[in-house]
Structure 1
């Protein structure tokens, strides 16, 4: 059990190490020189660490904005937070989660080898979150011990190839190739955004072709336009909040300086993420040729959602804003429909909304980015509300799973498990 715990919690749960391990195996199988193997492995790890560091910088800014909005408008309800609900699940299903995660990754490799779904899911924390969801849902439905672990592992391995495969047609439009897949359990929202884009937009009318006058041409730099947008958002929310509320977050700084620094911090996080993504793509794609040749023929890596951000940086900020608007609209619809009030979480709306914006832009340009992300915002509001009853006692702690696929899998598996238990 000690070895399993080490593999699960120290290796599989560390995306940088997991990706580095895959790069090492791929380059070794291709019989590359030792220096190339070390370079590719270490750069893959470094790229993921850089990506994670950028995410942390960005989240530090969002963690100020979200509570400010809640205090300003006196909103009370359930905030979807994957990390929080997983921590609760671990108290009851910790052992089961660990085993499902370990065996689920092996099942992923098996499914990738024997089925046409040739995807290896490499987003370690999302593997962990889905393992926790499956253990909680299956356990609440009445399964336990060995049946729970076997069923959970097979289901985990299956969804780890299924969702990248479902998202692949749209991912090809995003990247212009077939080298990488989306490995993030928000794919239902991204597919929805892509479909919306196809229906209402024109991919030629891209967010990346937004015209600026000469005096505003500096905004063609996506990181600068992102920074300015977030400065304005922080400033407006601060004005509504009033001095007492924003002072809790700004300290002795004026509202202007607080908004300025938060916008700059947010943009810095995005810039760091983009740097990490470029490094990962440059190393992991060649390494996977070795895995494809020897271990899982035609294998493709399924990577975390920020991998898409470099393809349409303007769509990233547009997607975030419109996904959050979708969450706000949904918040006022949930109560009258008799569902739990889901408060839009800034972190899930940024990462899934931004990615939905990129997918929507790839199929429908500006309209696709805006309305596709808006639909994503609705999905990640209604699906968590519908998931709450399935989670049993875990669902009453003011939090639930945030991304769309957790809701889809949890609801379907939960109700099917109850039918057969």
Structure 2
């Protein structure tokens, strides 16, 4: 039984396999011929593997930059990292986490089939992270065994369906009704950025629509622009850190190191973009089979990096503004005597970059800059507020990085402290009411429209 549970967890925690399985089921439902069945199943898998490979290149180049900044500016504190805290938690709560993950996905499918929340959450590793958080906080709330798994699975499955729906009106504007939803647990941050940008900016003046003059024509290539900006950032940080420290990082000359890391980072971004195009090219059309035959009107909720292609320049701007906001937030935390949260380059790139895309599409350049900066400050404060609760669980000096994780951890931890287990049951009731409430209003729709493949390809260019 343990071996089967582990095998299923390995599958459902891998977005590539999930996308392939969903695409396969959709194509079978459409009665596609074998050649289309084969290519339509493999391309989403290959696309996500390409996206993951690009993300791996980005992460491998961002991690040393965080260390360089920490040493160069003599900053000591906690760097939020999802993978680090999950690896620790798995040693204590492995079975509970795996069980919550599997049950959560099943509940997500049931919700998509029988309610008006038609979103199928496909970012398996983020589901795994949230399952880990729920297993930890529920154990701290004195739940155990199957009851812990049942509550955790319901929380995960419900939020997997509800979180894409909360901001789908924004997602549709970002993707030009692209037939996809946000499947990433930094979603509340992205929706907040869109909300802020819409009120402070002007979407008619966006980075996505900016025309660059012939004199600066080389900047039209996002890969080149990203490479130049990152080389400058690496070089400045390396100079501040000093030659002696840089010798502990690399044997290369700091200038050569900066150029290589900056350009490798740009290559990683380019790989991500190509992976996204592979995913969009086949997953959404295959999903029409699911939507028509099995789960009517269902929509795939996909990773945040899938949205990068809709405003590539805003990704870089959002990252930089988010990181600056993280630095400001760190200094404010220090000033008020809270734990220092050192800006993690990885969360600020993926979360800040995605916030930049949403903000740019809803509020243009000004909205992108302001909203991403505010989001960066929150990426400092939320993990700091979550840190005490996690410390009590034995996860000292480590905290989750992304928006939704922090919100859920803070809410459950504080409500349990104030009201006990009854607060957890109340949260479940609220989620259940949220799932059932649209049935009371015939006009309420919590799904988005799909588009043809040709329209989708045009909107992603």
Q: Any conservation in 2 of the 1:140–1:392 contact (CA below 8 Å)?
A: no
Displacement of 1:65 in angstroms is 0.7
- Alignment correspondent of 1:307: 306
Displacement of 1:395 in angstroms is 5.7
Matches within 5 A, 1:30-109: 30-109=30-109
Displacement of 1:211 in angstroms is 4.8
Distance 1:400 1:322 in 2: 22
Alpha carbons of structure 1 residues 68 and 394: separation in structure 2 relative to 1, 3 Å: farther
Distance 1:210 1:232 in 2: 23
Matches within 5 A, 1:320-399: 320-394=319-393, 396-399=395-398
- Alignment correspondent of 1:177: 177
Distance 1:157 1:105 in 2: 6
Deviating more after overlay: 240-249 vs 145-154: 240-249
- Alignment correspondent of 1:203: 203
- Alignment correspondent of 1:6: 7
1:360-385: CA deviation from partner (whole Å, max 9, x where unpaired) = 00111111111111121112111111
Distance 1:212 1:362 in 2: 18
Does the residue aligned with 1:401 lie in a helix, a strand or coil?
Answer: coil
Alpha carbons of structure 1 residues 63 and 392: separation in structure 2 relative to 1, 3 Å: closer
Q: Any conservation in 1 of the 2:390–2:396 contact (CA below 8 Å)?
A: no
Distance 1:247 1:201 in 2: 45
Displacement of 1:336 in angstroms is 3.0
- Alignment correspondent of 1:416: 415
Distance 1:335 1:91 in 2: 32
1:227-285: CA deviation from partner (whole Å, max 9, x where unpaired) = 1000111111112111112232331x222211111111000000000000000000100
1:307-362: CA deviation from partner (whole Å, max 9, x where unpaired) = 00111000010011011011000001113334221111010010000000000001
Distance 2:106 2:395 in 1: 33
Does the residue aligned with 1:335 lie in a helix, a strand or coil?
Answer: helix
Task: State whether structure 2 residue 222 is matched by structure 1 residue 222.
Answer: yes
Q: Any conservation in 2 of the 1:85–1:394 contact (CA below 8 Å)?
A: no
Alpha carbons of structure 1 residues 209 and 30: separation in structure 2 relative to 1, 3 Å: closer
1:275-301: CA deviation from partner (whole Å, max 9, x where unpaired) = 000000001001111111222210000
- Normalising by structure 2, we get a TM-score of 0.89
Task: State whether structure 2 residue 270 is matched by structure 1 residue 271.
Answer: yes
Task: State whether structure 2 residue 144 is matched by structure 1 residue 144.
Answer: yes
- Alignment correspondent of 1:124: 124
Displacement of 1:410 in angstroms is 1.4
Matches within 5 A, 1:229-240: 229-240=229-240
Displacement of 1:178 in angstroms is 4.4
Does the residue aligned with 1:207 lie in a helix, a strand or coil?
Answer: coil
Does the residue aligned with 2:301 lie in a helix, a strand or coil?
Answer: strand
Distance 2:338 2:49 in 1: 39
Deviating more after overlay: 253-262 vs 44-53: 253-262
Distance 2:174 2:90 in 1: 36
Q: Any conservation in 1 of the 2:359–2:368 contact (CA below 8 Å)?
A: yes
- Alignment correspondent of 1:25: 25
Distance 2:125 2:358 in 1: 22
1:72-118: CA deviation from partner (whole Å, max 9, x where unpaired) = 11111111100111111112211110100000000111111222111
Q: Any conservation in 1 of the 2:119–2:161 contact (CA below 8 Å)?
A: yes
Does the residue aligned with 2:120 lie in a helix, a strand or coil?
Answer: strand
Residues matched between the structures, number:
419
1:123-170: CA deviation from partner (whole Å, max 9, x where unpaired) = 010000000000001111111112111110000001101111112111
Q: Any conservation in 1 of the 2:104–2:152 contact (CA below 8 Å)?
A: yes
* Unmatched segments (≥5 aa) in structure 1: none
Distance 2:313 2:32 in 1: 38
Distance 1:394 1:67 in 2: 27
* Unmatched segments (≥5 aa) in structure 2: 422-461
Displacement of 1:180 in angstroms is 0.3
Alpha carbons of structure 1 residues 233 and 332: separation in structure 2 relative to 1, 3 Å: same
Deviating more after overlay: 271-280 vs 106-115: 106-115
Q: Any conservation in 2 of the 1:189–1:375 contact (CA below 8 Å)?
A: no
Does the residue aligned with 1:302 lie in a helix, a strand or coil?
Answer: strand
